[in-house]
Amino acid sequence: MPRLAAAAADHTRKLLLLSYPRRTWWTIASFAVFNWFLALFRRQFQVFVHRPREILATAREHGLEPVLDRPGAFWTVAALRRSA
């Protein structure tokens, strides 16, 4: 996700909106169970819970500043604006 955030930030003119799972024990556990089921059915797809701190730090390195950080029960929505 940090690489994706970097690429998105590089293409952002004004505002970048991101949504990502909260890094809590229940999201990590539920994603682990989900990945187990995917492996059981021989699916190559996997889901990950990245560190939000790393995602936002990467966006900052590419000239964006957070203007919104709204955590929900399972997902977080963040908005980042291009610095002047």
Q: In terms of C-beta density within 10 A (0-12 exposed, 13-18 middle, 19 or more buried), how is residue 3 classed?
A: exposed
pLDDT at 76: 93
Per-10-residue mean pLDDT for the chain, 84 residues long? 86 93 91 94 89 91 93 92 83
Spell out the residues 6+ positions from residue 4 whose beta carbon is closer than 8 angstroms to its own.
none
Spell out the residues 6+ positions from residue 40 whose beta carbon is closer than 8 angstroms to its own.
none
The full set of domain ranges for the chain reads 1-16+64-84
Question: Rounded to whole angstroms, how far apart are CA atoms 53 and 7?
Answer: 17
Rounded to two decimals, the pTM is 0.77
pLDDT at 84: 66
Do residues 45 and 32 lie in contact, with contact meaning Cβ atoms separated by under 8 Å?
Answer: no
